[in-house]
Structure 1
Amino acid sequence: KRYRTEAHQNVTCRFNERLILSLADCSRCLLVNDDLTVLPLSSRTADVKPVEVALIGTSEQNELLAELKESLVDTPPAGPLVSLCRTYDQAKAVAQFIDALAEKQLKPPTSLTAGRGRGKSAAMGLAIAGSIAFGYVNVYVTSPSPENLITLFEFILKGFDALEYQEHTDYTIIRSTNPDFNKAIIRINITRNNRQTIQYISPSDAHLLNAADLLIIDEAAAIPLPMVKAMLGSYLVFMASTINGYEGTGRSLSLKLLSQLQKDNGAPPPIKLEESIRYSPGDPVESWLTSLLCLDATVVQNLSSGCPPPEACELYYIDRDALFSYHRAAEAFLQRIVSICVSSHYKNSPNDLQMMSDAPAHHLFCLLGPITKKDQLPEILVVIQVCLEGQISTQAIQNSLARGMKGAGDLIPWNVTEQYGDREFPKLSGARIVRIATHPNYQRMGYGKRALKQLKAYFEGKFMTLSDDNGHAMDDEENNGNGIETIDDEEVDLLKEVIAPRKKIPTLLKRLTERKPEPLDYIGTSFGLTGELLRFWKSQKFVPVYLSQKENELTGEHSCIMLCPISPSVERLETQDWIKQYFVDFRRRILKLLGKSFSRFTTGIALSLLENKAINVDARELRQSTIDEVFLPHDIQRLENYVSNQVEYKLIMDLTTDLAGLYFQGKMAGAHIESLQKAILLGCGLQNKSIEKLMEEFHMPSNQVLAKFYDCIKKLTAYLTQVMERTIEGTMAKESQLDMGDGLVPLRQTLNE
């Protein structure tokens, strides 16, 4: 259900097909029926030979582990805790953490990196149990979610058992009442020797760490770097990060975080866990699972093609039937796609991979440089994942507005409809850019903009499509056979069925001229608002229409939706006013919320939200009646006194709210101020920021900020004075005409006189 949308209901199970084909390649997979008869799919296991008992012995790593455990038997608390470790790497990591705890000295952050299934969370849990034994009072644990800490808290309790702590007698457990956290442990109170606490906190609650003795950051690379830096302080810090697997974020993000910490804090190199607990070294099952779910797609290959000019690069459509066909070349191409996506986003999971393969509304594009070698896989610069949305029925719209019932998918239509109550917008056809990921070595070089520009041109119909006489695309995915032969269930015999790849695999990459685009009214995107992303989308003429008032609990960012109308024909240009109406309403709401939900925005982001070159918002001149409604005569006098340097700026700070409101509402068309002056006016007047706060934000001394503030108020006061003077001049002109009219008499009376 989560893969379907209102207009796209037919799910193609490409992921299951690839799964079944991959099982045939796994040399340790055996498929049997109810009678335990081996199916033909497991033909590779027909030659399984028993392992000789002599070959089953103790490995070198196990011998080292036994020696380490033996050496620490009489060294509490290290001995009991290390005895719980399963690998030599894990035991060494726990011993290093315990050494750091025993010294009780402030050190740079100690980091731990590991792949999936290496015992990272267990090692951190045992280290926390050791910290309690050493007398640490306030121990804080943070991660993207309490659910990420289930294993960590489990091994804290196992560590307590090894140290002979008794529940209810020596410690009590407190679980979360939030249904989203599934009763996860969020606090442990220890009362054995003195009062000690192990407490979970959110990454955004760094201000609560003033009394911390030890901070544990799990999945540190999944937390934005500014938040991690904000949590560092005058206490011991241990952090861990998964570098691959669905819990991981990619080696590039982990290395970026760790290298930044080493540079800023002089942190030692990270402790590495390489030996697997779940699998033996070189286990084919682990290799199969890693390949199937692309768990190891964390190292992005360096490109050998250099840096081609963005104008020389072309966008291609990726046929998902070919991409997930389990062909050798397709698998290599899929790994490259996933590696670029992983390196560009904080969170990835197998669910994302399955949605990429099966969701009927999703499509993939990639930007490639000039292809010179036809016998090699092309090197990918940018990957774009698009989801088609909209075309929602009238009945579904009525159910949504009347009863709050929303269908699956269609993120942009439902949010915009809820925001503006527009019953017509969901009927439009749109495409949401789910992700646009650039190769990490080629970011900020114009490749992302080039890919997005070509994507817009494609949906605008600017690429000449090779079509047949009926106007249909020659290689349209919907008209192509997928190479699967349909057979009735009664004709299938599991003992005789042969599972093989498709007979006809379509072309993996298609030029945009080889596929007919879907007719669209707009392209949209939804992302966590940052200044850099806002500038990028604005540069491509996207317009903000929605901004959530609630921050994301992990990143602290507000979700933003931006739209770009698509005009494939001249006849449809007259219908583009809807985006202007949305933006005008959006600006009006933002102006009112800048002092509330959005007061923490930088003035640069706030100002950027209000201004957009893609939309021409008409400004109008200020009227005397508006001045009389907003300002008292004494208020104007205060402004004039400040401009003439008779009073200090604090005496007029209350008037900046009214001045900023009039200016940014477009009611002072004749007033022109600089960008920095706009930012200062917006910060003081709408976000209620002090001059001292603006000094920190702009990295400017107070005299320069006050000088810009003075120039801004001087220009606005001069504009108000001009409006009032013009009003007085107009009034005097009318009065003079009336005065002249009082002395006039009829012509007949004059002649008689």
Structure 2
Amino acid sequence: MEAFLDKLKEDLENAIEGRHRRLVVLSGNDPQKLGEALSKVLLLYDKLREEKGLGEGKVLYVFHDEFPEARQIKDVAKGSVKENAKKIKLEIRVYEESNKLLGTTYQGIVLDLTRDLKPNDVGRLVEVVEGGSPVILLVPTWEEWDEWETIFKKNLCVPQYPQPRHVFITWFKRKILEHPSHVYHVDKDKKVKQELFESPKYKKKELEIPKEIRFPKKLYALALTQDQVEVIHSMEWMLGRKKKHRVLVITADRGRGKSGALGIALAGFVQAFSKSKSGFVKVIVTSGDPFGVQTLFKLLMKAAETIGMKAKKIERDGTIYEVHGESWSVEYWPPLKAAEKNADLVVVDEAAGVPVPVLHKIWRNHKRSVYATTIHGYEGAGRGFNVRFLPTLLNDKGTEIKHVKMDEPIRYAPGDPVERWLYDVLLLDAEPAKLDEEDLKAIEEGRLKYLRLDPKWLFSKEGEDLLRNLFGIYVLAHYRNEPDDLGMIADAPHHSVRAVATDTGKVVGALQLAEEGPIPEDMIDDLLRGGKIPGNIIPDRFLKHLRVRDFAFTRGWRVVRIATHPEVQGKGIGTFALAKASEEAKERGYDWIASGFGVTEKLLKFWIRSGFLPVHMSPDRNPTSGEFTILVAKPLTPKLKWMILEANRLFRRKVLLSLHLNYRTLEWDAAKLILETDPIPINPSLRKPKLHPVDVDRLWIYSYGPMTFEAASDLIYRLAITYWSQPRKWRPEIDEDTKITLITKVLQGRDWEEVEEETKIKFRKQVAVLKEFGRRCLRTYWNIEKEGGTGVSNENVEYFVSRYGKKVFDIE
């Protein structure tokens, strides 16, 4: 190993000079040998730090503490470092804490991958290491590692497919060998590969602070790069008092210091804004989870202290949720809550991980908002944010936008070889294919091909370009895309990948499909009682909500993802993909094809056009996406046709009767579309609502007289329920505005003003269409025109008397 260490020392010396990182891989199954080899590498690094006059460094060590072998490796290395090292200390953590390490900085890292390789963990943790440091991976024996059963792989399995595929680690190994790295086989005491990287000597640039500034100069001194200076200065622009919306957009790759710069800038903002505003200054910070904004809060505390502002923090379990002073506060709220709350400024960190509808709500509801997002990173894709959100803002005349791009890394110098490897292995920079005129012509003419892709080939050298284009489409089409998704495509045994390509060879559509069912017989009763099962989302929901045991014995495909190249959406590519997937599912003998997604009217229309029916919807909005998750299904066999039709009928009844409760905030266009998917009416025999004669007369005086809606709301509610429950041929004819008003005002019970804001139907029009609805019901169900309203007839009084007795009405 001495020759290996000599070359590693030479490379690390260059890395320190160039402020770059180096990738070191130690492979073996003997925990004692692995621990000893790791100790030699760490002590070599320690000695180098001493020779270079560097201060004490923290090396992060992350492992799975439930495995004895992993504990043994850690103990050997920890003991050796504690006894012999002078310039480094090990900080021991477990993978379950990886979220909490976001935004921290270390002078080296050891990732024990001997028991697991979770792509998200690699993406998160490698980026906490600063330049001039080693990134050390501990892995099983090199030749056996490909088919190692890791925790991640096991969690991808389902009862029907208990063994994973072994594709991702083979890809991971290939990418290590394709990039500059040091790979040593500890068990065989020989190097697998050793390639040095020539880093240019790093020269720190002097920062230029703008001459005219409104924030204290001490704040600018906290910046580490010129890009951070630009972010801080741009936050001064947010102080403007114009009537228009002010939006600051910050885009950067991972590790560019956007969160830290925002934390520093917020101290200046609240101080300056409080001087110009009487009253309390409130800033809301949001992100997919509170761990993502810890760097922002920590730098805010530091910045506040630097400029003499008294600041206190509110923590829960070591996580900061608020920093506040006497007349200001900066608070974390989840995205949906942030959209609804009042604030002087809203800051969205990792905006690409927040659904576009929620971003729109935040923008519309606040005069000042900041959107910071990673272009390439495990949290989401900034380009997707650019494609789906920014165009709306740019086209809005009432919005002013300032855009800052951050390029310079904070922790290491540009051109870092470990960053290049990380982006390559996790496809963080995957892009869709570039389309030319010939490709666009092929799409217009429908010259499309349906590709059935083998994951093993897809992750090979031959298939890699197609994989990048396909994954790039996912990145742009979905609000959240993670490295774990890449691992799932590779190794989930029940998942299949399909693509749509032009006959010119460009990938323009992508599908990910999961086989679900049949459910093992010994699990059915448990699921009916509320038990859980890995995967099998569609059978599980059918058992729990439709309660039909037979569905457990069926098999089908769940569409996990379907995405179209962003430049050619709306041209039938998705519809083509679903049609071909349905054909293939039939060939395979499947009973159904289904999917689940955050419901919007546009998306639901797309699925309904392809023959799918809605069958279930979550009773609560997803706390991250802010949407109700809906399931849609399409039968492929006669037996499944009646099950799915009945599921749709019962689902519509559930929605209809819950619009005033669980689904009161469901968007009206989605609610209307759900109620109108009615191949079987909710109540096929309902010809006429059963109203008491007194109620019929009340309906007349409401429809033709002075009675207000509030006095007759119980009647209109019952009639609305009848309208959406009975066959179409027996319904009164009403226009679209009436349907919308029935859903929003009557069934959801919203205020007149709220209905007007949501639907753009004016108050007077709402009142008018509801009265007209009453008249149409009178004509359709009771054949009553304007003449009427003379009270309850003697005949009906006799009926009351015979039923309840004279004393009730005090009739002689």
SS in 2 for 1:127: helix
The match for 2:201 among 52, 56, 61 is 56
In the aligned structure 2, how far is the partner of 1:581 from the partner of 1:252?
A: 38
Larger-Rg structure = 1
In the aligned structure 2, how far is the partner of 1:389 from the partner of 1:116?
A: 36
User: Which residue of the partner structure matches residue 159 of structure 2?
Assistant: 6
**Residue 396 of structure 1: how far off its partner (Å):** 1.7
**1:387–1:433: 8 Å Cα contact kept in structure 2?**
yes
**2:236 is the alignment partner of 1:92:** no
**2:338–2:346: 8 Å Cα contact kept in structure 1?**
no
The match for 2:511 among 376, 380, 384 is 384
Query: For residues 675 and 522 of structure 1, do their structure 2 counterparts lie closer, same or farther at Cα, with a shift above 3 Å needed?
Result: farther
**Residue 698 of structure 1: how far off its partner (Å):** 3.8
**2:410 is the alignment partner of 1:277:** yes
**Residue 78 of structure 1: how far off its partner (Å):** 4.1
User: Which residue of the partner structure matches residue 257 of structure 2?
Assistant: 119
Q: Deviations over 1:482-523 (max 9, x none)?
A: xxxxxxxxxxxxxxxxxxxxxxxxxxxxxxxxxxx3x21110
Query: For residues 360 and 675 of structure 1, do their structure 2 counterparts lie closer, same or farther at Cα, with a shift above 3 Å needed?
Result: farther
User: Which residue of the partner structure matches residue 128 of structure 1?
Assistant: 266
In the aligned structure 1, how far is the partner of 2:634 from the partner of 2:426?
A: 34
The match for 2:677 among 582, 589, 612 is 612
In the aligned structure 2, how far is the partner of 1:208 from the partner of 1:642?
A: 36
**Residue 602 of structure 1: how far off its partner (Å):** 3.5
Report the residue type matching 2:537 in the other structure: L
Q: Deviations over 1:160-217 (max 9, x none)?
A: 454466xxxx43321246xxxxx52111232xxx34322112222257643x333322
Q: Deviations over 1:208-240 (max 9, x none)?
A: 643x33332212333334433433456543331
SS in 2 for 1:453: helix
**2:264–2:303: 8 Å Cα contact kept in structure 1?**
yes
**2:346–2:366: 8 Å Cα contact kept in structure 1?**
no
User: Which residue of the partner structure matches residue 654 of structure 1?
Assistant: 714
**2:537 is the alignment partner of 1:393:** no
In the aligned structure 2, how far is the partner of 1:314 from the partner of 1:603?
A: 37
SS in 2 for 1:113: strand
Report the residue type matching 2:465 in the other structure: A
The match for 1:39 among 191, 215, 231 is 191
Query: For residues 386 and 172 of structure 1, do their structure 2 counterparts lie closer, same or farther at Cα, with a shift above 3 Å needed?
Result: same
Query: For residues 30 and 353 of structure 1, do their structure 2 counterparts lie closer, same or farther at Cα, with a shift above 3 Å needed?
Result: same
User: Which residue of the partner structure matches residue 525 of structure 1?
Assistant: 595
**2:345–2:366: 8 Å Cα contact kept in structure 1?**
no
User: Which residue of the partner structure matches residue 557 of structure 1?
Assistant: 627
| Structure 2 spans left out of the alignment, 5+ residues | 1-153, 275-280, 786-794, 796-812
In the aligned structure 1, how far is the partner of 2:282 from the partner of 2:744?
A: 38
**Residue 77 of structure 1: how far off its partner (Å):** 5.9
Q: Deviations over 1:334-390 (max 9, x none)?
A: 11011100111000110010001110011011112224xxxxxx2012101100011
**Residue 288 of structure 1: how far off its partner (Å):** 1.5
Query: For residues 49 and 530 of structure 1, do their structure 2 counterparts lie closer, same or farther at Cα, with a shift above 3 Å needed?
Result: closer
Query: For residues 171 and 642 of structure 1, do their structure 2 counterparts lie closer, same or farther at Cα, with a shift above 3 Å needed?
Result: closer
Report the residue type matching 1:120 in the other structure: K
In the aligned structure 2, how far is the partner of 1:234 from the partner of 1:460?
A: 50
The match for 1:204 among 315, 325, 336 is 336
Query: For residues 663 and 557 of structure 1, do their structure 2 counterparts lie closer, same or farther at Cα, with a shift above 3 Å needed?
Result: same
In the aligned structure 1, how far is the partner of 2:186 from the partner of 2:335?
A: 50
User: Which residue of the partner structure matches residue 285 of structure 2?
Assistant: 141
**1:316–1:368: 8 Å Cα contact kept in structure 2?**
yes
Query: For residues 615 and 355 of structure 1, do their structure 2 counterparts lie closer, same or farther at Cα, with a shift above 3 Å needed?
Result: farther
In the aligned structure 1, how far is the partner of 2:205 from the partner of 2:489?
A: 45
In the aligned structure 2, how far is the partner of 1:574 from the partner of 1:281?
A: 61
**2:354–2:480: 8 Å Cα contact kept in structure 1?**
no
User: Which residue of the partner structure matches residue 23 of structure 1?
Assistant: 176
**2:301–2:311: 8 Å Cα contact kept in structure 1?**
no
In the aligned structure 2, how far is the partner of 1:215 from the partner of 1:658?
A: 43
The match for 2:742 among 681, 687, 690 is 681
**Residue 615 of structure 1: how far off its partner (Å):** 4.8
In the aligned structure 2, how far is the partner of 1:707 from the partner of 1:185?
A: 52
The match for 1:156 among 291, 297, 300 is 300
**2:252–2:405: 8 Å Cα contact kept in structure 1?**
yes
In the aligned structure 1, how far is the partner of 2:739 from the partner of 2:215?
A: 61
In the aligned structure 1, how far is the partner of 2:262 from the partner of 2:215?
A: 15
Q: Deviations over 1:424-467 (max 9, x none)?
A: 32221111000110010111111111111111122223xxxxxx
**2:500 is the alignment partner of 1:367:** yes
**2:559 is the alignment partner of 1:419:** no
In the aligned structure 1, how far is the partner of 2:425 from the partner of 2:197?
A: 26
In the aligned structure 2, how far is the partner of 1:77 from the partner of 1:607?
A: 51
Report the residue type matching 1:64 in the other structure: E
The match for 1:595 among 640, 660, 674 is 660
Report the residue type matching 2:315 in the other structure: R
In the aligned structure 2, how far is the partner of 1:682 from the partner of 1:188?
A: 42
User: Which residue of the partner structure matches residue 492 of structure 1?
Assistant: none
Q: Deviations over 1:620-657 (max 9, x none)?
A: 2536xx62xxx232211122334445655554333111
User: Which residue of the partner structure matches residue 237 of structure 1?
Assistant: 369
**Residue 618 of structure 1: how far off its partner (Å):** 6.6
Q: Deviations over 1:396-423 (max 9, x none)?
A: 2223334x43122112222222223333
**Counting strand residues as a fraction of each chain, which structure ranks higher?**
2
Query: For residues 708 and 117 of structure 1, do their structure 2 counterparts lie closer, same or farther at Cα, with a shift above 3 Å needed?
Result: same
**2:408–2:414: 8 Å Cα contact kept in structure 1?**
yes
**Residue 245 of structure 1: how far off its partner (Å):** 1.3
**Residue 31 of structure 1: how far off its partner (Å):** 0.9
SS in 2 for 1:204: helix
**2:440 is the alignment partner of 1:306:** yes
**2:787 is the alignment partner of 1:719:** no
SS in 1 for 2:430: coil
State the identity as a percent.
27
**1:81–1:130: 8 Å Cα contact kept in structure 2?**
yes
SS in 2 for 1:424: helix
User: Which residue of the partner structure matches residue 499 of structure 1?
Assistant: none
SS in 2 for 1:562: strand
User: Which residue of the partner structure matches residue 248 of structure 2?
Assistant: 110
**2:287–2:350: 8 Å Cα contact kept in structure 1?**
yes
The match for 2:311 among 171, 190, 202 is 171
Query: For residues 668 and 252 of structure 1, do their structure 2 counterparts lie closer, same or farther at Cα, with a shift above 3 Å needed?
Result: closer
In the aligned structure 2, how far is the partner of 1:162 from the partner of 1:696?
A: 45
**Residue 256 of structure 1: how far off its partner (Å):** 4.2
| Structure 1 spans left out of the alignment, 5+ residues | 178-182, 372-377, 462-516, 568-572, 725-730, 732-753
SS in 2 for 1:434: strand
SS in 1 for 2:371: strand
SS in 1 for 2:182: coil
In the aligned structure 2, how far is the partner of 1:49 from the partner of 1:237?
A: 43
User: Which residue of the partner structure matches residue 407 of structure 1?
Assistant: 533
**2:580 is the alignment partner of 1:454:** yes
Q: How does 1:487-506 map to 2 (within 5 A)?
A: none
Report the residue type matching 1:366 in the other structure: A
**TM-score, L = length of structure 1:** 0.76
In the aligned structure 2, how far is the partner of 1:18 from the partner of 1:575?
A: 40
In the aligned structure 2, how far is the partner of 1:521 from the partner of 1:175?
A: 51
SS in 2 for 1:109: strand
Query: For residues 299 and 123 of structure 1, do their structure 2 counterparts lie closer, same or farther at Cα, with a shift above 3 Å needed?
Result: farther
In the aligned structure 2, how far is the partner of 1:707 from the partner of 1:406?
A: 50
In the aligned structure 1, how far is the partner of 2:391 from the partner of 2:334?
A: 24
